[in-house]
Amino acid sequence: LAPGTESGKLFRLRGKGAPGLAPEGPGDLHVRIVVETPKNLSGAQKRKLQEFIDTCAAGQYPERKEFERQAETFLARRRHSGI
């Protein structure tokens, strides 16, 4: 898998399906990527994860960057409208 492959991504592997089911040969194998998020982390694991997060650049998380941009736009509009 390529770095950055996200959970839910679907891959089609041509000719890698189950053999012997069709006279033409094996069909395609469809693979969906599922990334499981760890739960019940120990204190040491949480600290290590935080150390990793602290070393990451903003450009490594484009969805987070876009979310932050949209949130800032929303809050700015809200401030200007007086709500």
Give the integer Cα–Cα distance in Å for 71 and 9. Answer: 26
Q: Is the model more confident about 6 or about 83? A: 6
Query: What is the pLDDT confidence band of residue 19, given thresholds at 50, 70 and 90?
Result: confident
Give the integer Cα–Cα distance in Å for 66 and 22. Answer: 46
- State the pLDDT at residue 61: 81
Tens-digit pLDDT profile for residues 21-75? 767 888 899 999 998 888 899 999 999 999 998 898 877 888 888 888 888 988 8
Q: In this structure, are residues 13 and 19 in contact, taking their beta carbons and an 8 Å threshold?
A: no
- State the pLDDT at residue 83: 62
Q: In this structure, are residues 25 and 19 in contact, taking their beta carbons and an 8 Å threshold?
A: yes
